[in-house]
């Protein structure tokens, strides 16, 4: 595939025509403006509305993070207009500093931009191809699509090493379980993002791969010596730190560095990143509304102060709390204004030095100088039809999915002539839209789906599934982390116990495959995305429909 055909307008367009081409600097900035630059925030709106105006022109925030639950993200056109509108709001400020606009577009299970964009399999699928160049091609294509809609920063790639197969939060988001694998694939992904002129963010320092707790829900602890960490978790950060523009912290407790403070609030840990590893870029906190951060700092205000004091340069104030008493809570504009004032007050009281603030802001402005200001400014918009969801990008996604797919036959010839069979498909509801984009429901003489409402189906849904299966010749089961959803495990086992020919599609963590060895045919996709599901369809049609 030849990315040289991308229009030259790609890297000179969108949003910056009214910004001065001279370098941004601290000169003349008030304390209020400096603190604003540290904040990367969310807001409710599918366009640049009054909330956005308040955050950008009053609070002077330096960054916006997009979420589909509050910004729509319905189409490339909507997002491009949103980004353009937000950048225009900054131009009325006394110091018109362009925004960092970010998203968590990892690919696979974490990809908020999915309507009208290329759906790439996640890191584990890329790693399973054994072809690091595909990491570069996927990152380049992803970066091109992000850039086209005005997103200049990706909170990716994940460089955690998934050494614990029961890790509840990383899993297939990682390139693999070995440091060397993660290192070589991440290096190529960084090259791809740089070619696309996107700020990439290595995450989650010092390594979230060997945890048994999700930091969205609680504070994980990693009980490893510093020497063990340096051989495993820290290796990608140490080797690639000099190539990276940004590194995100993890809300994990690592006693080898700090027995009291999680990494985001640990000056000792972040000093190791700065002084021992030698990272000179921007340190980004993971979202400060996560329970792992709030376990010690009971307010987001205090979490922001502690993160800045410890060495974080960008403070993410976005996302929803997904566990505990405040499930569903997220920050609104008044909350962000209050946090902004709390940090200012902490500086005035001497809890944080202004020198620390200046250090952080200078790193942010240097980053914006390199990525957001251009010498060849133009107001011409990018042609989305030539840059987003192109045939070339879709071909890369499908190639990754097909090469990653692993099939295991368990000595049975019962899976044959599928085009003549009545097939029943069982899957969680969250996969329905992705399945509908493939040919999975067109394989049999008749193919009838049965979707259960969530990852832990009710007893009534289990009974309904068994009824649905009775008239089928062949059963297709899509598992989605059944290993940590007991009632899903019961549903799948109940279907297997019916003794019908069964195809198991392991849609997320490969651990599920070991739980159901009686399935006649097992596919491990490593990514619940349309290309990965289609790769299964292609192999079923090629080998089992004759």
Q: How far is CA 438 from the centre of its chain?
A: 23
Per the CB < 8 A criterion, the answer to whether 88 and 95 are in contact is no
Q: How far is CA 197 from the centre of its chain?
A: 18
The beta strand positions in 34-99, using DSSP E, are: 39-41, 63-65
- 3-class state of residue 143 by DSSP: helix
- Please report which residue ranges of 441-503 form alpha helices under DSSP H: 459-469, 486-496
Catalytic annotation on 286?
A: yes
Q: 147, 197, 208, 216: which one is catalytic?
A: 216
Query: With helix as H, strand as E and coil as C, how does 495-513 read?
Result: HHCCCCCEEEEECCCCHHH
Picking from 455, 517, 526, the residue whose alpha carbon sits closest to that of residue 489 is 455
Cβ neighbours of residue 436 closer than 8 Å, sequence gap 6 or more: none
Per the CB < 8 A criterion, the answer to whether 245 and 281 are in contact is yes
d(CA 229, CA 227): 5
Picking from 159, 169, 161, 162, the residue whose alpha carbon sits closest to that of residue 190 is 159
Picking from 366, 364, 372, the residue whose alpha carbon sits closest to that of residue 38 is 364
Catalytic annotation on 216?
A: yes
Q: How far is CA 513 from the centre of its chain?
A: 24
Q: 286, 434, 509, 512: which one is catalytic?
A: 286
Cβ neighbours of residue 511 closer than 8 Å, sequence gap 6 or more: 165, 166, 483
Give me the residue label for tokens 């009291």. 260
d(CA 199, CA 197): 7
Active site residues: 216, 286
């Amino acid at each position: 595939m030849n990315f040289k055909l991308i229009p030259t307008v790609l890297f000179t367009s969108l949003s910056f025509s009214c910004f001065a081409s001279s370098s941004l600097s601290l000169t003349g900035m008030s304390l209020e403006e400096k603190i604003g630059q540290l904040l990367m925030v969310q807001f409710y709106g599918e366009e640049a509305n009054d909330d956005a105006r308040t955050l950008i022109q009053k609070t002077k925030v330096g960054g916006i993070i997009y979420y589909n639950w509050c910004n729509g993200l319905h189409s490339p056109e909507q997002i491009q207009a949103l980004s353009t509108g937000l950048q225009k709001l900054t131009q009325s400020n006394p110091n018109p500093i362009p925004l960092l606009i970010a998203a968590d577009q990892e690919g696979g299970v974490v990809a908020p931009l999915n309507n009208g964009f290329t759906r790439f399999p996640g890191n584990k699928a890329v790693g399973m191809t054994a072809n690091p160049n595909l990491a570069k091609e996927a990152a380049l294509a992803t970066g091109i699509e992000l850039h086209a809609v005005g997103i200049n920063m990706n909170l990716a790639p994940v460089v955690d090493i998934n050494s614990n197969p029961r890790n509840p939060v990383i899993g297939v988001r990682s390139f693999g379980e070995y440091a060397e694998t993660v290192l070589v694939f991440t290096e190529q992904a960084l090259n791809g993002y740089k070619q696309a002129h996107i700020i990439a963010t290595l995450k989650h320092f010092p390594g979230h791969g060997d945890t048994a707790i999700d930091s969205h829900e609680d504070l994980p602890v990693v009980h490893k010596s510093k020497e063990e960490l340096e051989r495993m978790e820290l290796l990608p950060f140490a080797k690639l730190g000099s190539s990276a523009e940004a590194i995100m912290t993890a809300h994990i407790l690592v006693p080898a560095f700090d027995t009291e403070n999680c990494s985001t609030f640990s000056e000792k840990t972040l000093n190791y990143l700065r002084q021992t590893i030698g990272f000179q870029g921007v340190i980004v906190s993971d979202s400060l509304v996560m329970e792992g951060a709030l376990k010690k700092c009971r307010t987001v205000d205090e979490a922001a102060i502690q993160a800045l004091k410890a060495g974080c340069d960008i403070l993410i104030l976005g996302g929803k709390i997904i566990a505990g008493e405040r499930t569903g809570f997220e920050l609104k504009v008044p909350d962000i204004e209050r946090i902004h004032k709390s940090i200012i007050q902490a500086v005035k009281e001497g809890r944080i030095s202004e020198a620390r603030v200046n250090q952080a802001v200078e790193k942010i402005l240097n980053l914006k100088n390199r990525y957001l200001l251009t010498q060849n400014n133009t107001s011409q918009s990018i042609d989305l039809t030539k840059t987003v969801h192109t045939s070339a990008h879709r071909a890369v996604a499908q190639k990754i999915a097909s090469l990653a797919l692993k099939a295991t036959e368990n000595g049975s010839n019962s899976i044959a002539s599928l085009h003549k069979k009545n097939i029943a498909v069982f899957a969680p509801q969250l996969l329905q839209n992705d399945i509908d984009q493939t040919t999975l429901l067109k394989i049999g003489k008749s193919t009838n789906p049965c979707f259960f409402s969530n990852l832990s189906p009710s007893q009534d849904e289990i009974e309904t599934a068994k009824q649905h299966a009775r008239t089928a010749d062949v059963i297709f089961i899509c598992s989605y982390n059944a290993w940590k959803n007991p009632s899903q495990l019961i549903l799948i086992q109940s279907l297997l116990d019916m003794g019908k020919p069964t195809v198991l599609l392991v849609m997320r963590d490969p651990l599920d495959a070991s739980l159901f060895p009686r399935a006649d045919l097992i596919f491990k996709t490593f990514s619940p995305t349309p290309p990965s599901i289609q790769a299964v369809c292609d192999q079923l049609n090629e080998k089992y429909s004759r």
